[in-house]
Structure 1
Amino acid sequence: MALERLHHALFCGTCTMADDGDLRSFRNPCRLFPLPGLVFFPHAILPLHIFEPRYRQMTEDALAEGDRLITMVLPRADVPETLEGAPALEEIACLGRVFQHQRLPDGRFNLLLLGLKRVRLTREIPTEKLYRLAEAETLEDVELGPPEGDHRRNDLHNLFREVVTRTGVNDPKLVALLETSLPLGPLTDLIAYTLGLTVEIKQRLLAETRVLHRADALLEILGRILAQHPRATQAPIFPPPFSSN
Structure 2
Amino acid sequence: MDALPDLPLFPLPDVVLFPGIALPMYVFEPRYRALLARVVASGEPFGIVRIAVPRSASDRPFHERVARVGTLAHVREVRPHGDGTSSIRVVGGERFLIVEFDLTQPYLSARAALSPLPAGPERAPELAGAVLANLMRLNPQQRSDLDGLRDADPLLVASYAATVLPLDPADREALLAAPDLDARLEGLLVRMPAEARQLN
Q: TM-score, normalised by structure 1?
A: 0.72
Judged with a 3 Å threshold, the aligned counterparts in structure 2 of structure 1 residues 54 and 150 are, in CA distance, closer, same or farther, namely: closer
**What residue in structure 2 maps to residue 93 of structure 1?**
70
Conserved 8 A contact 2:63-2:101: no
Structure-2 separation of matches of 1:97 and 1:141: 18
5+ residue gaps in structure 1? 1-22, 228-245
Alignment CA distance shift 1:223-1:48 (3 Å): closer
Query: Please, which of 52, 56, 60 is the counterpart of residue 81 of structure 1?
Result: 60
1:139–1:209 Cα contact (<8 Å) kept:
no
The offset of 1:223, in angstroms, is 5.4
Question: Whole-Å Cα distance in 2 between the matches of residues 103 and 141 of structure 1?
Answer: 34
Kept after mapping to 2: 8 A contact 1:39/1:203? yes
Identity %: 20
SS at match of 2:97: strand
Tell me the distance in 1 between the aligned counterparts of 2:71 and 2:126.
28
Aligned CA distance change for structure 1 residues 60 and 109 (closer, same or farther; 3 Å):
same
How many residues were matched structurally?
193
Post-superposition offset of 1:172: 5.6
For 2:133, the equivalent position in structure 1 comes to: 158
Once the 2 structures are TM-superposed, how far is the Cα of residue 226 of structure 1 from its aligned partner? 2.5
TM-score, with length taken from structure 2: 0.87
Matched, 1:175 2:151: no
Q: Give me the CA root mean square deviation.
A: 2.2
Match of 1:18 in 2: none
Higher relative contact order (CA 8 A, sep 6+): 2
Counterpart of 2:160 in structure 1 is 190
1:210 and 2:180 are equivalent in the alignment: yes
Counterpart for residue 8 of structure 2:
31
Query: Secondary structure in 1 aligned to 2:65?
Result: coil
Q: 1:173 to 1:121 in 2, by over 3 A?
A: farther
Structure 1 stretches of 4+ with a deviation exceeding 6 A read: none
1:62-77 correspondence runs (5 A): 62-67=39-44, 69-77=45-53
Query: Who wins on radius of gyration, i.e. which is larger?
Result: 1
How many Å apart are 1:199 and its aligned residue? 0.4
Cα distance in 2 between the residues matched to 1:176 and 1:104: 38
1:106 pairs with 2:83:
yes
